[in-house]
Copies of this chain bind each other. A is one copy, B any other.
Amino acid sequence: MSNPHDAVPAAAPVSEAGDASAEEALAAVERQLSMLWRRARSVSQELSRRVHPEMEPAAYGLLSVLRTRGPIRLTELASSIGVGKPSVSRQVAFLEGLGLVAKEADPLDGRAQAISLTAKGEEKMHLVQDARREVFRERLAEWPTGELEAFARYMAKLNASYERDGFPRDEVL
């Protein structure tokens, strides 16, 4: 990782930092991110399947949110993970079929429904998370804890920034 290709000062002096190294750093982040994105897809896919063949990769994030934030309504869930309602609706329907989540009508609002993780869902999540962590461990085993923490912190920061202005939504985690 040290390709001098798109980090040239071509973009002209930037307002704030205007620093060449800042530009380069920005470009590097962008590059790595786009690579990571691609990798993550296949890994995540293979990974989920390893535990539960029917456990779609997308379901993971969903269940994870459900687990963290308890029973929430679909719309909220959708914005939590940053996708549209239709996707979530279908995903939830699917997971309900598997018995991993439950939809419960909101007594106060007939349209709304609280979606929650079932006991079975909790259990599956444990399995999947263990497996995930196992795989991560394979890759991150040698990383010093400090680096892992910093890495997570950076990602959290980036994620938070998307929430701030990119997404019309609320806090996650």
Contact = CB atoms under 8 A, between A and B. Distances in A.
A99 interface: no
A81 B145 contact: no
Contacts of A156: 1, 28, 32
Interface residues of A, number: 75
A11 interface: yes
Contacts of A149: 21, 25, 28
A11 B36 CA distance: 27
Contacts of A41: 37
B153 A154 contact: no
Interface string A13-55: 0101101011101111111111111111111100000000000
A14 B139 CA distance: 14
A25 B149 CA distance: 5
B148 A17 contact: no
Contacts of A22: 145, 148
A150 interface: yes
A30 B6 CA distance: 30
Interface in A136-173: 136-141, 143, 145, 147-159, 161-162, 165-167, 172-173
Interface of A: 1, 3, 5-6, 10-11, 14, 16-17, 19, 21-23, 25-44, 60-61, 64, 67-68, 81-83, 125-126, 129-130, 132-133, 136-141, 143, 145, 147-159, 161-162, 165-167, 172-173
